[in-house]
Structure 1
Amino acid sequence: MRKPPDLTYGLNELPTPAVLLSAALQQTAIIVVFIYPAILLAQAVGASPSQSAAMLSLAFLACGASALIQSAGRFGIGAGYLAPATGSAAFLAPSLLAVQIGGLALAAGMTIAGGAAMMLFARTLHRARAFFPPEIAGAVVLIIGIAVTLAGVRALLITPDQQPPSAGALAVAGVTLAIAVGLSVWGGGALRGACVLVALLAGTAVASWLGLFRLDTAALAGLPLVGLPATGHLGWSFDLALLPVFLVAALANSLKTVGLVTTLQKLNDADWVRPEPRSIAGGVAGDGAATALAGLLCTAAPNVSATNVTIQAASGVTSRAIGYATAAFCLVLACFPRLAALLAQVPGPVIAAVLLHAGGLMLVNGMQLATSRMLDSRKSFVVGFALVTTLAVEAIPQVADWVSPELRPYMSATALGTVVAIGLNAILRIGIRRQMEIVLPARDMPHRELADFVARAGAAWGARRDVLTRVEEQIVWCVDSIAGFGLAEGDVAVRIGFDELRIDVTIAYRGPPLELSQVAPTADEMLTEAGAAKLAGHMILKRATRASVRSRDGGTELRLVFDH
């Protein structure tokens, strides 16, 4: 892993105390801003002020545990990256449905089941990788980016009284967004590392100065200043009828985590070429463990936060040490309920600006991930239609009212878009051949036809462009060498196979084999035709990951392997 030049502090580097503190406070501030699922869940069960405070404190505890688990990445649980969690939107709708049927105990029990399903899914990821390729993970990240961005637009432009937003609200959002973007682009050191935190504080100050922000002192006075979270509301029950709904939420959360951990891999490695499955599986397992813990604590489920990930790209600080500090701050918040409630009172225009900042960055990350592979018509349709579905649900939220109450949790933009992406990818994989063949004349080789054949195969499989370029160049080199030295008698058959991790090429022809040499020919040998043939064989060995040749009964097969 090579640290990218635009990172100030990489994954395994320890920032200065000032940067560590400011970055951890920034990550914690985002957790505070997006802790709303716990607040909504408490409202749904009609919790008393003390019980609501306890659920909020326990939600901070679950988010802190998630940050700790993900940063540590031990025993196959946790991604090993800075990947704090906030409240999960995917689990919110199923949890509210469970509350209507069986109260908080049922929501908690089913959340435990959802967390367990995520941990089980993590153990099967390596077997199902063909159904969750990078373009699908990128599509999920794009879906999240769309949902986050549109949430910011709605928070800013749609007021409770259905009136146009005030000039003051637009000014607050503009100042917050300008500071966040400005510090991430032109800031340095601790200022860049805390760009969103500084923007939050500045936006809140401007809102207060313009009279758009008033502290709810009555609500704060009713909460204890210091104290451990109450546990009198704990209880659990289960209902198999709700299991499918929570399994879909678990799958949506898992795929979101797959996309975000893949984004973190790219962000932290200048030489990134493909998703690393171990840390992805660990990230999903860590998310599942934190979700199960939230269920045990009878609070809202967490999920790796897209906003916290995008902040790392903006600030250039990705050190996992910040995850440990973030976990400590979450523990402090869990024991200071009045402080947690105070921090949660962030003005609406400030939250809208943070959502717009995070959503814009997430859209770019999703596009980069989705297009990191070649896309044919099948994969283009999968990505495109998943995005169209997301936009349709966001544009017409009344769609959820057209289905039965049991299906409404599936009708959120994130859940439905994810299900469409996965389902279409599985269906449209039917008919994709994992091996393709073309037969061409050795002499007067039609290079354009061969290049088109390789491009079609790569697009159908979703192969990486840079690897396909190497494959095409190597095949042309081999066929030209075989024809140039007069080895082939008649046509040459080129077969290409793919299994997500490598591309296998077999070039078959009638005639003697081409010698593969580990040693380059000497200057004297280069003056002979045998030396030129030796050079060709040497270059084939150097440019492919592995190469071998086999000759039998007058036929020859040259086999090449390229890691993908």
Structure 2
Amino acid sequence: MANTKQSVAPVDEMMPAGKLFVYGLQHVLAMYAGAVAVPLIIAAAAGLSKSQTAFLINADLFTCGLATLLQTLGIWKIGIKIPVIQGVTFAAVTPMIMIAKTGGMPTIYGAIIVAGLCTFLLAPYFSKLIRFFPPIVTGSVITVIGISLLPVGIAWAAGGVGNKNYGSLTYLAVAGIVLLSILLINRLFKGFVAHISVLIGLAIGLIIAMPLGLVNFAGVSSAAMFGIDYPFAFGLPKFDIGAIIAMIIVMLVVMVESTGDFLAIGQMVEKPIGEKELTAGLRADGLATALGGIFNAFPYTAFAQNVGLVGLTGVKSRFVVATSGLILVVLGFFPKLATIIASLPNPVLGGAGIAMFGIVAASGIKTLSKVDFEKNANNIFIVAISIGMGVIPVVDPNFFKLFPNWSQTILHSGITLGSITAIILNAFFNGSKGAGDLDDLKDNAGMNG
């Protein structure tokens, strides 16, 4: 028996059902707030009703589960087979907001499907080219992602754009309490409790907001207890070239993000990650993203907070995270729960959003801290100009208003502009020499949103 156990790698260890469920639920709780944040943002941008928002959340949870099962269990040469939980990437949020405002949900899904298929096909080639995406590029991009998302959290904290009482002290107080709760939890607790600090903060904010009359549970009682996600619920996909290009660029960034997380987890679970494994993992990202476009969801990538959870708990089995995937699929079948989540008032979301989106920017800064600015003074220009270009749409949405219509989706995305700028400037100043290799990314986990 001892020899049999020793012959099984930690990453392939099968645990009793009870342990699988508890550890799997822990992963779900660690990523749940981040998983539902994106559907809430997109639903608001697209002007969806509460019932449609609930459906979008359920569709996202369901597809998160499918993506996680695909990545952890694997099919053919798809799936990296390590404990990596999949969630919607924050890198796609800003482009999807712009697409939602101009083309609606069908145009978002058309772009997602094409970008997912392109990712699947590019995976084996991208695995060879990753040396051209060193921390100087990825750090700049992730910083821009956080900066681009912060205005969303700030607007939520003030009551939401269009609210006649925007900036009310009541709204700001509720948001402040949520933010303070998250900080106190992280200060006073460690491990599991700290990892679900955002979820606890949302719960505290909800409890405080209810007696203040800020919570509207209309539709919860009438929401179905059970529901099924089905393809193209918002209509058949539309294919817009500008939206597709913007989403493909996002997926290039996602491939870099996922690679860093794959390498980090591989080290934690003592499984070597080579070109073959990277290709399988990136293919799973692409296929999951294409499925997201079909099942009313979004682009998917490895969730960084769960990378840290693997290291914290020391639980290395991929079947634990596969169990998380099953839990997410099950959660996707309960619209009533999603309707309750959709009832969270904007100020409550704002307090958590400032923390979450700020952490994304801080993760980018952390990655940039590994960059050598002394020996290569040109690196400062790469970071400075990339971030400068990336914040243009945030600071002044009308900056590119006279450019052709087909380019608006790309130019109004700070993430897209920042990414293109960082890649081009790094190639200009550094070329392939010193651009970094796979080893550079081993310390570059936690890049995604």
Structure 2 length normalisation: TM-score?
A: 0.77
CA contact (8 A) 1:39 1:56 kept: no
The question of 1:360 aligning with 2:358 is answered yes
Secondary structure in structure 1 of the residue aligned to 2:88: strand
More helix by share: 2
Q: Which runs of 5+ in 2 are unaligned?
A: 1-9, 440-449
CA contact (8 A) 1:175 1:203 kept: yes
- Give the structure 2 partner of residue 116 of structure 1: 117
CA contact (8 A) 1:257 1:283 kept: no
The question of 1:181 aligning with 2:183 is answered yes
CA contact (8 A) 1:177 1:354 kept: yes
For residue 360 of structure 2, what is the amino acid of its counterpart? M
Structure 1 residue 201 displacement after superposition? 0.8
Going from structure 1 to structure 2, the CA distance change for 1:341 and 1:358 (only over 3 Å counts) comes to same
| Aligned length in residues | 415
- Give the structure 2 partner of residue 249 of structure 1: 247
Structure 1 residue 267 displacement after superposition? 7.6
1:77 and 1:135 mapped to 2: Cα distance?
Answer: 28
- Per-residue Cα deviation, 1:199-249 (whole angstroms, up to 9, x for no partner): 11111111113332222x2x335532223235584865665xx34541331
- Give the structure 2 partner of residue 347 of structure 1: 345
CA contact (8 A) 1:61 1:331 kept: yes
1:301 to 274, 298, 303: 298
Secondary structure in structure 2 of the residue aligned to 1:420: helix
2:176 and 2:352 mapped to 1: Cα distance?
Answer: 10
For the pair shown, the structure with the greater C-alpha radius of gyration is: 1
Going from structure 1 to structure 2, the CA distance change for 1:370 and 1:212 (only over 3 Å counts) comes to same
Secondary structure in structure 2 of the residue aligned to 1:304: strand
1:166 and 1:264 mapped to 2: Cα distance?
Answer: 44
The question of 1:209 aligning with 2:229 is answered no
- Give the structure 2 partner of residue 84 of structure 1: 86
For residue 206 of structure 1, what is the amino acid of its counterpart? I
- Per-residue Cα deviation, 1:22-52 (whole angstroms, up to 9, x for no partner): 44234234322321366358757xxx98777
- Per-residue Cα deviation, 1:53-83 (whole angstroms, up to 9, x for no partner): 6555433322222233334466343473434
2:31 and 2:74 mapped to 1: Cα distance?
Answer: 18
Secondary structure in structure 2 of the residue aligned to 1:398: coil
1:27 to 20, 31, 45: 31
Secondary structure in structure 2 of the residue aligned to 1:127: helix
1:197 to 196, 199, 223: 199
1:270 and 1:366 mapped to 2: Cα distance?
Answer: 21
- Give the structure 1 partner of residue 442 of structure 2: none
Going from structure 1 to structure 2, the CA distance change for 1:180 and 1:18 (only over 3 Å counts) comes to farther
CA contact (8 A) 1:173 1:203 kept: yes
- Give the structure 2 partner of residue 59 of structure 1: 60
**Overall identity of the aligned pairs, in %:** 20
1:11 and 1:302 mapped to 2: Cα distance?
Answer: 26
Residues 380-395 of structure 1: matches in 2 within 5 Å?
380-395=380-395
2:114 and 2:276 mapped to 1: Cα distance?
Answer: 23
Residues 455-534 of structure 1: matches in 2 within 5 Å?
461-462=434-435, 500=437
2:28 and 2:256 mapped to 1: Cα distance?
Answer: 23
Secondary structure in structure 2 of the residue aligned to 1:85: strand
Q: Which runs of 5+ in 1 are unaligned?
A: 1-9, 435-460, 464-499, 503-564
- Give the structure 1 partner of residue 154 of structure 2: 153
The question of 1:324 aligning with 2:322 is answered yes
2:197 and 2:307 mapped to 1: Cα distance?
Answer: 10
Structure 1 residue 134 displacement after superposition? 2.4
- Per-residue Cα deviation, 1:362-385 (whole angstroms, up to 9, x for no partner): 233222323324242333212221
Going from structure 1 to structure 2, the CA distance change for 1:165 and 1:12 (only over 3 Å counts) comes to farther
2:263 and 2:59 mapped to 1: Cα distance?
Answer: 30
Secondary structure in structure 2 of the residue aligned to 1:220: coil
Going from structure 1 to structure 2, the CA distance change for 1:158 and 1:462 (only over 3 Å counts) comes to farther
Higher relative contact order (CA 8 A, sep 6+): 2
CA contact (8 A) 1:70 1:77 kept: yes
For residue 357 of structure 2, what is the amino acid of its counterpart? G
Structure 1 residue 144 displacement after superposition? 1.6
CA contact (8 A) 1:142 1:367 kept: yes
Going from structure 1 to structure 2, the CA distance change for 1:171 and 1:345 (only over 3 Å counts) comes to same
- Give the structure 1 partner of residue 127 of structure 2: 126
Going from structure 1 to structure 2, the CA distance change for 1:399 and 1:373 (only over 3 Å counts) comes to same
Structure 1 residue 387 displacement after superposition? 0.8
Residues 3-18 of structure 1: matches in 2 within 5 Å?
none
Residues 536-547 of structure 1: matches in 2 within 5 Å?
none
Note the aligned Cα RMSD (angstroms). 3.9
- Give the structure 1 partner of residue 229 of structure 2: 229
